[in-house]
Every structure is written in structure tokens, then in C-alpha cells.
Chain A
């Protein structure tokens, strides 16, 4: 239990620091900008109480917002992400797994589930994020392209991260 706790705290600091100091400066012509900090919210234990999940997600978003000068945008997207995560886990996992405190990382869960989990939720997060950022339905095609390309970029980075910390014997 203490291990899960410290892992998550360490992950939080590392991911947020990487996001605001490294990934903020990366991008492909303003079309694809990666937001791999969402991995922190994705990897919180499965059985975490909803309220705590929302608080942590909101907090992460607000801190990233502070560095991006877009107060509220990332926080809103992270809140949406937390909701999507709850729904996704409720639909795809058996109910006996809802209560335990495993970290949904490859190695613990099958790769196909993990990939779907990351892709769907990242897409959801990015949709909310970019829609709030542009705040208009003008040039929707452009926004849509940005969402899709950024999502692919983020997912690739997240998968690379996951492979770095991949440990086979964890079940």
C-alpha cells in the first residue's frame, strides 16, 4: 500500500515536470502537441474512490494550467478524463476487480486492454482540451486534426514510457 502511494507521488512529480519543462516545447507545427502527463491520472489504482480521483485529476490539471497560462482548460479536460476513466473501468473490468488497488499498467493488465484504455481516454481528454482552448466551432476540421494528431503523439509517448517500466512478473 505504501509502495503504491510513493510510486504515484513520484510519478506525479516526474510526469508534471516532464510535461511543463520538456513536452511544452515540443510540437509539430501547432498541429500535434503531446500531453503525456495524463498518464498519471490513467495509472492511479483501479479501486481509488471517485472523489479522490476527481480531486487528484483536477489538481494535476490546475498545476499544468499554471505553467501553460491557460487556467482551467487542462483542469476541465482532466476532470472529463477522470469521468471517462470511471466509465471505462466499469464497462470493461469485472466487478471483483473494481475494488482492488492494482495499477492498470501493462504487465498487470493485457496489452490490448491497456492500449484501448490509453487511446480512448487520451482521445477524450484531448477532445475536451482542444475544444475548450479554441472555444468555437469555427474551423472544426482544423481542431479535429489537432485533436487526432496530438492524441496519436501522446499515445506513442505514453506507450514508450510504459515499455520503459515494463515488468513481466507482476501478477
Chain B
């Protein structure tokens, strides 16, 4: 004890320095937004790579499910391919070449972190800016939509899940084509969502499928879910339709980030019309 005290007094200059300097750096990180952001970002990078390492191990455990999913997707794609290559529908010369104007490109990403039990859920992906992912892109999976890219670092990106109180996606009903905005709503069930702003006169049947409308970040015609409850409660001029998501959020492994090549063009045009009007 005496020796400890001796050391402390002998090198008091150094210990005071450490004390005051730590406090000052704490102040810097707490109160200056740039430094805070970069400190948190670097730790995010660190945490992200830690998750990625764990996930690399875990992914072996889920290979079976993943294989089943991929096989199902293969089957459905093969079905579509059959329709396209059916011999009788081809009239030579009348086919328009659409290769020059592909609008959407898909980046495959692995989920390294996922939550479904919070009020606002986020997902971390193992692809980032280097792979062409930018803020605001849509994320889908083989059987539904997942969310919207919120932040991007060099190798990782975080996704604001569909299970988030702020997420809104434009979705349309299969039969009538009426579109409204899809949100998670005020429940904690990872399978149920709410489709709002559908006018009261639209006829909705239970089990009807709901697709993306193409007005937001997602390509049109992606399955979102099925109508679980038509919600014709009367009084209001809009329906609150309960949707059962087709996406299985609890075992999300592999997702596709939608890169909209024409997003910039569309945005500029729309902002121009807004300015003119």
C-alpha cells in the first residue's frame, strides 16, 4: 500500500495527465457530432465483423433450411422459365429487346444480425458500399420483402426492417389493384402487418394476395403477403387491412438488395415536376 502510494506520488504528473486527458477526450466524443459519429462507426465496423465471424459458423447449422428454400426458389423460377420458353408463343420479329433497359439489379447478401422482438427492428447485412449498396435501397428475400437500407459502411449495411414503426412500403391488392401503404402497425407479431389507406368501397377478400405496387423502392409485383382480416369496421372511409407477411423474419438468412438503376433519373424528374407545380 505504501509502495503504491509512493508510485502514485512519484509519477503524479503522469496520472494527472491520464485523468484529465481521459475526461477531455470523453467530452470531445460526447459533444462533437463528427467525432462521435466516427467513433461509433469504427466500433460498428468492429461489431459488424464480429457478427460476421459468428455468422460464418452459424451458417453451417442452417444449411438444410437454406437448401430447401433455394430448391423452392429454383422450382418457381424454372416454372416461370417454362412459360417464357414455351415454343408456341414465339413469333419471330415481334419480340422487343428489353436487355438495354433492365431497371433492377440484385445484390445477394447474407444476414449477419437480425432482431424481431423490438419495437424497431434492424438487420445487419454483410455487404456494403464496396458492393454497390447505397442508403435507401430496398431489400427483399426469396418469398417477400424485408426492409430498407438505413446506413452503409464499407463492408456492412444496416437495414430498417419491415418490422419497424417508421417503415412504410407502397403495396397493392391483387384483384382490384388498389394500393395503400403497408406498415407493421401497433402489434408485436413478426408475421402480421397493416395495409392502410385502401378506400372503403374496394372489395377485399380474405386470403387475397398483396404485392408491391412499384411506386416505392421495390420492383412491382413482389409478393408481400396475404390478407388475414379484411378489417371492414365501418365508419372510416379507409380500411385497415391486416396482412400476414409472406416473409419469414425469424429465419432470415439470405436476402437480395434491390439496386434501382433508374432511381436517380426518376427522382430528378419528380423533383422537377414538384418545382414547376
Contacting A at CB under 8 A, from B1-23, are 12-14, 16-17, 20-21, 23
Assess whether B31 is interfacial by the CB under 8 Å rule.
yes
Minimum CB distance partner of A76 in chain B: B24
Complex interface: stretch among A11-19, A82-90, A109-117 = A82-90
Chain B residue with the shortest CB-CB distance to A82:
B17
B199 to chain A, nearest CB (A): 52
Q: Which 3 A-B pairs have the closest CB atoms?
A: A72-B27, A76-B24, A72-B28
In-complex Cβ contact of A72 among B16, B26, B34, B39 (8 A): B26
Known: A71-B32, A73-B32, A135-B35. A83 touches B14 (CB 8 A): yes
- Judged by a CB distance under 8 angstroms, whether A142 is at the interface is no
A49-68 residues with Cβ-Cβ distance < 8 A to B are 50-51, 54, 57-58, 61
A79 touches B28 (CB 8 A): no
B247 to chain A, nearest CB (A): 38
A136 within 8 A of B: yes
Q: Are A80 and B28 in contact (CB under 8 A)?
A: no
Q: Say yes or no: is B38 at the interface (Cβ < 8 Å to chain A).
A: yes
Given A135-B35, A135-B38, verify A76-B17 contact (CB < 8 Å): no
The interface residues of chain B lying within 8 Å CB-to-CB of A71 are 27-28, 30-32
A132 within 8 A of B: yes
Q: Interface digits, A23-60 against B, CB 8 Å rule (1 contact, 0 not)?
A: 00000000000000000000000000011001001100
Task: Render B24-61 as a binary contact track against A, CB cut-off 8 A, 1 for contact.
Answer: 11111111101100110000000000000000000000
Q: Are B17 and A79 in contact (CB under 8 A)?
A: yes
A58 to B21, CA, bound (A): 9
Known: A58-B20, A132-B25, A136-B38. A72 touches B32 (CB 8 A): yes
Residues on A with C-beta less than 8 A from B35 are 132, 135
Pick from A75, A80, A132, A136: contact of B17, CB below 8 A.
Answer: A80
Residues of A within 8 A of B17 (CB): 54, 79-80, 82-83
Given A50-B16, A54-B20, A80-B21, 11 other A-B contacts at CB below 8 A? A61-B24, A70-B28, A71-B28, A71-B30, A72-B26, A72-B30, A73-B32, A76-B24, A79-B24, A132-B28, A135-B34
Q: Are A83 and B13 in contact (CB under 8 A)?
A: yes
Given contacts A51-B16, A82-B17, contact A75 B38 (CB under 8 A): no
- Given known A-B contacts A135-B34, A135-B35, A136-B38, A75 and B13 have beta carbons under 8 A apart: no
| Contact status B21-A73, CB under 8 Å | no
**Residues in chain B near residue A79, CB distance under 8 A:** 17, 20-21, 24
Chain B residue nearest to A79 (CB atoms) is B20
CA distance A75 to B27 in the complex (A): 9
Q: Which A residues lie within 8 Å of B30 (CB)?
A: 71-72
Q: Given known contacts A58-B20, A79-B21, A135-B35, is B28 in contact with A87 (CB within 8 Å)?
A: no
